[in-house]
Amino acid sequence: MINVLFIGPQGSGKGTQAKRLAAARGIPHIATGDSFRAAIADQTELGRQVQPYLDSGSLVPDELTIGLIRERLQQPDTAGGFVLDGFPRNMAQAHALDEMLAQIGRPLSVVFEFALSDEFALERCLGRAIEEGRPDDTAQVIVKRLTIYREQTEPIVGHYRAAGILVVIRAERSIDEVDADLAGALQQAVA
């Protein structure tokens, strides 16, 4: 069983890797951004509440986000492991996650930080914006999400470094190199 967390700025490729790892291991890929977008598409009450935050690139309020993850982690399909992607995104969420995982007796096995400079992140996001047409991928909203990442999300990396479970992946390199790094680190993490 492996419980993995991916942290990284927009454009770092963490979502792609998180999805792939989950598929390869047959464990759920839990991505708060995807859940919020699905809720918006389905026009649920949650979707209605979170839409303005996604549109403007702000963080959704913690009570909504933490509630969503608490419910998701209680689903039986997480018992064999899970991949978290996009949560936690600030210190309050990190502490809430610690508590939830302690309660269910399932600590994180490894945390991957996909480290990427702003220059690379911006360039990749703008490229993706043209390819995918996600509504929050305009230059202005991307810059806002990156600023929030540096100010609120990056500080939680230190929390996991102190816990001794952090692995830094240099995300500016080729997909093949990132793949190799990740595979090696995973082997060590489950050994």
Residues marked active site are found at 14, 89, 128, 134, 145
* Range 127-156, binding ligand ADP (CB under 6 A): 136, 145
Of 10, 81, 171, 178, which lies in the binding site for ligand ADP, with binding defined by CB under 6 A? 10
* Rounded Cα distance, 18 and 79, in Å: 18
**60 near ligand ADP, judged by CB under 6 A:** yes
Q: What are the residue ranges of helices labelled H in the chain?
A: 14-25, 32-41, 45-56, 62-73, 91-103, 118-132, 139-148, 155-162, 175-190
Of 19, 20, 33, 109, which lies in the binding site for ligand ADP, with binding defined by CB under 6 A? 33
Helix or strand or coil: residue 41?
Answer: helix
* Rounded Cα distance, 36 and 38, in Å: 5
The residue count for binding ligand ADP (CB under 6 A) is 17
**17 near ligand ADP, judged by CB under 6 A:** no
Per-residue contact string for residues 171-190; x = within reach of ligand ADP by CB under 6 A? --------------------
* Rounded Cα distance, 190 and 157, in Å: 21
Residue 185 phi/psi, 5-degree rounding, is -65, -35
**Shortest Å, Cβ 114 to ligand ADP:** 11
**Shortest Å, Cβ 60 to ligand ADP:** 4
Helix or strand or coil: residue 117?
Answer: coil
Question: Which positions touch ligand ADP (CB under 6 A)?
Answer: 10, 32-33, 36, 53-54, 57-60, 65, 86-87, 89, 93, 136, 145
